[in-house]
A and B are shown apart, each in its own frame.
Chain A
Amino acid sequence: MEGWALLSLVIWLPIIGGLIVLVAGDKLSRPAALIFSVITFLVSIPLWTGFDPTSYQMQFEEKHTWISSFNMFYHLGVDGISMPLLLLNTFITVLIVIAGWEVIKKKPAQYMAAFLIMEGIINGVFAAQDAMLFYIFFEAMLIPMFLVIGVWGGVNRVYATIKFFLYTFFGSVFMLVSLLYMYNKSGSFAIADFYNLKLGMTAQVLIFLSFLIAFGVKVPMWPVHTWLPDAHVEAPTGGSVILAAIMLKIGGYGFLRFSLPMVPDAARELTWLVVFMSLTAVVYIGFVALVQKDMKKLVAYSSIAHMGFVTLGFFLVYAIYRNTGSYEGSVLAMQGGMVQMVSHGFISGAMFLCIGVLYDRMHTREISAYGGVANTMPIFTAFFVLFAMANTGLPGTSGFVGEFMVILASFKASFWIAFLAATTLIVGAAYTLWLVKRVLFGGVANEEVALLQDVNKREFLFLAVLALAVLLLGLWPQPLTHVMGASIQHIVELATQSKLPGVN
């Protein structure tokens, strides 16, 4: 597949496809969107099959001059970290098109187009090797999401969109300043050049904090997470799925691609802050999820708690060294964080799709409006229970893998970090199973529940595909961990080398 410019294809194909869908009109828009999303997914598969997992180098690289006076390049490439996330994106988008098939009645062409364009932009985020290119994709992705929530959203969509936009935009402005600063120092926007840039401690700390705000809002980390529940509640199902499954991952990805390798000394100094924020997300948010009355809010809070494992896993490296005097365990922690990202993409996507299935029938997300759904929707119930179990981290499902690895590794950092992280076993199970109990089990609660129809073929299709993904990754994560191995090893190496001037 050499010379095929695969990465450009997976970026521009869906964007052009989106424009075509836009002009194709409402009737043709659905099949057209399906065709484009499937082709994009198929095109992205060679990225996996042709990937060399023994190398941490960027692969499938493309490099063209973009703006020569600023030394900017249209530079693309993927490594073992970005490639799985890119595939997750192309995979989930197909499901979103299927999920929105009959459900979206208002302006379906625009809806489908927004998602296709968003797919292309997010692929660009993962593939960009030039910081400015990354930044542009990073910001551009807000626009289709803003529209998706604003146009197809719920009653309070205006408050939610503004909050979403300002929150995330606020974060990324600081990142832009940091990127410009590093450009001034190095004369280049290449991410790889930033890795080699020597920086003083003050500069590192400021840059680190700006990244922390930018990516922390995206993840989202406590205490900058409050936009997420609102955005989820107002977003249409597809919007929630992309938000949870893909967009949050960009925050985690940013930490790996930017924070750890570019400003490792600041990361070492401030690791306590990130660990503290992550553990707060795991524990505090777990309890908050417990008392939610709205299903989507509950799952949104659960997302924040699960993403806490991601950031915890990424930043354990320094704490492990401090405790044991060796970096052994850091790769396990980081792998765990990465697996957790991919797994959370499947599980949270599936959970939001399940809630969408219920919402399409009952037009409410209030938990108290349900009860005994199992009696009328047994197939749906089987899926929901499976995903709920995956959400509680049951072994054999993908939800287990990442949490297991992170908890095992965190023990090397400190008994108490592991202790607090492991409380998710109890709290995570509590809020998830309580939801399951109140919604699915029991006698038929009311007339509306009595009239519910079980999933149709289309719904069965996307739930079954996700169920397979959840089980496959849970029973055999080795292919994924193998593909990421070399790249993560490399990130650990970069993150553990001091970049203060005068060292080396």
Chain B
Amino acid sequence: MEKIYLAIPLAPLLGAIVAGLFGGKIGRKAAHAVTITGVAVACILSFVVLKHIAIDGNTYNGNVYTWAAVEGIHFNVGFLIDNLTAMMMVVVTFVSLMVHIYTIGYMEHDEENWPEDSLVGRNSYQRFFSYISLFTFSMLMLVMSNNFMQLFFGWEAVGLVSYLLIGFWSTRNTAIYANMKAFLVNRVGDFGFLLGIATVLMYFGSMQYSEVFAKASEVAGKTMSISGTTEWSVITVACILLFVGAMGKSAQVPLHVWLPDSMEGPTPISALIHAATMVTAGIFMVARMSPLFELSTTALSVVLIIGSITAFFMGLIGIVQNDIKRVVAYSTLSQLGYMTVALGASAYGAAVFHLMTHAFFKALLFLAAGSVIIAMHHEQDMRKMGGLKKYMPITYWTSLIGSLALIGFPGFSGFFSKDLIIEAVHETHIPGATFAYWMVLLGVFITAFYSFRMFFLVFHGEERMDHHTKEHLKESPWVVTVPLIALAIPAVISGYLLDPMVLGDFFKGVIKGVGEEESLITEMAHHYHGIMPFILHGLTAPPFWLAMTGLVSAWFIYMKQPGIADWFYNRFHWLHTLLENKYFVDDFNQKVFAGGAVLLGKVLWKAGDRFLIDDSVVNDSAKFVGKLSGWSRYLQTGYMYHYAMSMIVGVLALIGWVIYKAG
């Protein structure tokens, strides 16, 4: 099996190298063939691994090579393959494969997106395939890692590919602004993450997960002082720092700002990277670290509150967006908030379960949005769409499935995962749980509202596009629709895995709390009596009715009585302004952090380097030496009368001094 484990990340890497370095020579077809083959191999092998691990009940923890060994600390590259990893591998490679196939259709006419004489646009098709394969490799390295160093490698590598892909259309100023922003905001998260890793190394003395988790209870009682005399629990500090990393990658408030802007990238990567996989890396990481997080209620409380704020307030912004991709982006933020809430409630299994269902239905929604965008000739404004149902039946039906899954309609995957989260928050006693409960509950309404606002604006009602676009409206080619259908299936059925995955013992021994006495999950499992009662219970619970209210409100406001939206807009103008400007967080960051950094740089440079060091010390001392030698030059002018004069003055002074002394 070791060879298979190694082959899974290396196959996409190989594809990426071939398509990236030789893309121009081998041409488009060979480039997409080689990358798709690479990812397909990884995907098939991931299923093999899933069977081997999950069904046959194996786990693997081994090293590939020693990256560096210093002072007895081994920095390894290696794999930990358990049920969590195997599940992530399947999700990542499957969604990636679908996105690869979809890209053939989406990027077919990419040359139109570039200025004519731009050389960098010439092989853009091959380059795109190279990047998404490279991403698949990086993401696999991240989830398969058995140690913190490789985790950080994967963590930053997916960030790099995300950077390259957001700024893929590098001649667009918005794109290259967005990708730099994404990288820098993520680096703020990584800053915390790296300090978290340093904390772990200092107190656990190892980078390997297995060794760290084994020592968790031993370190649990230790404290450290950061400033003054206040002693902090080491585990709390480590967990919060690690979570800062998750906040960057998984776009939690206040490090969420990069994700909406990342929509500047081509849609396939919005689906793959900024919805299904990379942004869930933070969720995965916290779930992986559950043996540590379980030991710190303080850290869990922080996670819970940050997650609930993200879940509610980001969903709210989704309501006022008109760009189809941005609605989905804010929806992603909000759903990531739900996952984070589940982590904070120490229902890690529920978080990972929602991660999986979300990967399917959100990738589906993004790809469907992309399909609409292709048909609309790269128009993304929903106010110029409408009535697309009859032109694009496959896109329509798959979108409907995706939307129903997103709002948690009973029977669809999102229903099971979201209900579990809300249930978990209801049950938990972590400080902040009440607040979080109301946030996620209200969030259900918001989710349904913005989802179906989008759905109705795009597919139903008046056809608001211009004549030219309307004439060319047609369903997308099969390379686009097949992935939609292939994703729609798990978007429905993956929810039925609820029993083994969350309430069963699928994650036993992997995620802390599963199958243990007095844990939240065990508690929840006691209430569970089979899938049908679960659905029936869901029909009577508040989340369902909130979702229905949201759906019907969207229908009423955007289909029946458009006047209401206008009335609301006029009545609550301030709220609209607030949401439209995303709570002014971007402006604040731009002015205070970006502006502040540049100002500080200028001050340090001009006042410090130039004035204090160079002008005052370096050049002035040079000038001083110059002056000194100027004066001393008078001592040896070479003129006889100067010397004679100074002799006379000297003799007179001497005589004067002698007389003074004598007197």
Contact = CB atoms under 8 A, between A and B. Distances in A.
A332 B71 contact: yes
Contacts of A335: 70
A408 interface: yes
Given A288-B609, A381-B120, A394-B160, A437 B618 contact: no
A50 interface: no
Given A375-B171, A395-B156, A287 B609 contact: no
A411 B192 CA distance: 13
A287 B187 contact: no
Interface string A100-138: 000000000000000000000000000000000000000
B128 to A, nearest CB: 14
Contacts of B177: 437
A272 interface: no
B70 A291 contact: no
Most interface-central of B68, B115, B153, B191 (chain A CB within 10 A) = B68
Interface stretch (B325-333, B538-546, B599-607): B599-607
Contacts of A476: 65, 67
B73 to A, nearest CB: 7
A232 B156 CA distance: 31
B183 interface: yes
Contacts of A481: 68-70
B622 A418 contact: no
Contacts of B67: 475-478
Contacts of B173: 442-443
Interface in B160-195: 160, 163-164, 167, 170-171, 173, 176-177, 180, 183-184, 187-188, 190-191, 194-195
A267 interface: no
A291 B598 contact: yes
Contacts of A407: 194-195, 198
B118 A375 contact: yes
Contacts of A415: 195, 224, 226
A430 interface: yes
Interface stretch (A1-9, A145-153, A419-427): A419-427
A206 interface: no
A287 B604 contact: yes
Given A396-B157, A425-B194, A444 B115 contact: yes
A166 B198 contact: no
A16 interface: no
Given A411-B199, A429-B187, A331 B120 contact: no
B167 A441 contact: yes
Given A226-B613, A291-B602, A378-B119, A478 B69 contact: yes
A184 B321 CA distance: 79
A333 B110 CA distance: 48
Interface in A396-412: 396, 400-401, 404-405, 407-408, 410-412
A17 interface: no
B218 interface: no
A389 interface: yes
A288 B612 CA distance: 14
A332 B207 CA distance: 14
A396 to B, nearest CB: 6
B601 A291 contact: yes
B66 interface: yes
Nearest to B150: A395
Contacts of B65: 476, 478
A477 B68 contact: yes
A308 interface: no
Contacts of A385: 164
Contacts of B618: 163, 167, 226-227
B598 A290 contact: yes
A396 B161 CA distance: 13
B117 interface: yes
A287 B601 contact: yes
A419 B164 CA distance: 28
Given A226-B609, A329-B71, A422-B191, A408 B197 contact: yes
A174 interface: no
B202 interface: yes
Nearest to B201: A408
Contact of A430 (B119, B121, B163, B184): B184
A454 B115 CA distance: 18
A59 to B, nearest CB: 21
Contacts of B202: 329, 408, 411-412
B195 A419 contact: yes
Nearest to B603: A287
A374 interface: yes
Nearest to B186: A429
Nearest to B152: A395
A418 B622 CA distance: 38
Nearest to A385: B164
A374 B124 CA distance: 12
B620 interface: no
A426 B187 contact: yes
Contacts of B188: 426
A437 B172 CA distance: 11
A441 B176 contact: yes
Given A284-B604, A375-B120, A437-B180, A396 B153 contact: yes
B201 A287 contact: no
A412 B199 CA distance: 8
Contacts of B604: 284, 287-288
B614 interface: yes
Nearest to A478: B68
Nearest to A389: B160
A287 B119 contact: no
Nearest to A166: B622
Interface in B483-497: none
Contacts of A433: 163, 180, 183-184
A372 interface: yes
Contact of B195 (A227, A389, A411): A411
Interface string A368-396: 00001011111001000100010010111
A493 interface: no
Contacts of B194: 404, 407, 422, 425
Most interface-central of B71, B149, B191, B602 (chain A CB within 10 A) = B71
B335 to A, nearest CB: 27
A411 B224 CA distance: 12
Interface in A268-327: 284, 287-292
A59 B115 CA distance: 59
Interface in B73-88: 73
B27 interface: no
B477 interface: no
A485 B605 CA distance: 39
Contacts of A430: 184, 597
Contacts of A287: 597, 600-601, 604-605
B608 interface: yes
Given A331-B71, A385-B164, A429-B183, 15 more contacts: A226-B609, A226-B614, A287-B604, A329-B71, A332-B73, A374-B170, A416-B226, A419-B195, A423-B191, A426-B188, A430-B597, A434-B180, A443-B171, A450-B117, A476-B65
Interface of B: 65-71, 73, 115, 117-123, 149, 152-153, 156-157, 160, 163-164, 167, 170-171, 173, 176-177, 180, 183-184, 187-188, 190-191, 194-195, 197-199, 201-202, 224, 226-227, 597-598, 600-602, 604-605, 608-609, 613-614, 618, 622
17 contacts: A223-B613, A284-B608, A287-B604, A289-B601, A328-B71, A374-B120, A378-B119, A381-B120, A410-B198, A412-B202, A422-B195, A425-B194, A426-B188, A430-B184, A437-B176, A476-B65, A481-B68
Closest 4 CB pairs of A and B: A411-B198, A291-B601, A287-B601, A395-B153
Interface of A: 163, 166-167, 223, 226-227, 284, 287-292, 328-329, 331-332, 335, 372, 374-378, 381, 385, 389, 392, 394-396, 400-401, 404-405, 407-408, 410-412, 415-416, 418-419, 422-423, 425-427, 429-430, 433-434, 437, 440-444, 450, 454, 475-478, 481-482, 485
